[in-house]
Structure 1
């Protein structure tokens, strides 16, 4: 039992240490990581068919990603990021609408000057590379996450993010 508790404590500490604590919100709001904003009441989730359309819109290999595994891979990200429209910026920015967005432009979040000047636009391949090693992509980023080393987990994570952070396809 002690070993289990020790292991659980170490896993939790590692997940929380994955995100930098340096990030500050520029909005002056008093939202905290412990109290992320909920999705607007009027918002209804995407249907399975809409999620499949979004997944199919990704280039290979992301269009065949395992969304369920991507959701599991996102657990380490969840301590710093929210996904829902109108969700809180936490240690990291809210990721809703991230695909197609220029890096460092999500309102109400204090990005590093290096990320704002990077010229990156978030697409599947860029997110994959970023999640593998953020500091290798943009020296000076405030994101202290060490990265997801497993390629399949990154592909699946990108697939999950696409289906969870995108508006319903038209």
Structure 2
């Protein structure tokens, strides 16, 4: 998945968790944690799996539940220790949403189901030779453009537009949390 898709899925799920626990809406710091959590597996695995031989692929260590569950649990516990539980939960929800999103994504594009990375290293990853990370992203984007020019790709674009549109509507209904962290307040002038 692309970063904006992971962010959308993470935000929607966290907003749902907030509502299910009786709070009215996510707060700004929570949204930042969602942003970091939703990107965390790729921030770890892509540079280390594509640009080096430290990891076998761009979906291995941080995409494995054997790593993700303990890390998410640790973040929740540390955040609770500092009385910032909602930030830890926001990170954990978005991080753990990333993994099944990467499982489902190839199916949406008409590819086969990929589950092996979910239990890496118990299920070995297909090793990739190191490459330039930016060149790899460019190659993936070119492949993506080729796919979206097909009939299946157009259906995918519709689904993506729907996902992003719903996310924007929910974020707006939540009061645009996070925006206050970058928007100057009257006292900042």
Name the TM-score, length of structure 2 as normaliser: 0.23
When the two structures are superposed, what TM-score results if normalisation uses the length of structure 1?
A: 0.25
Rg: which structure is higher? 2
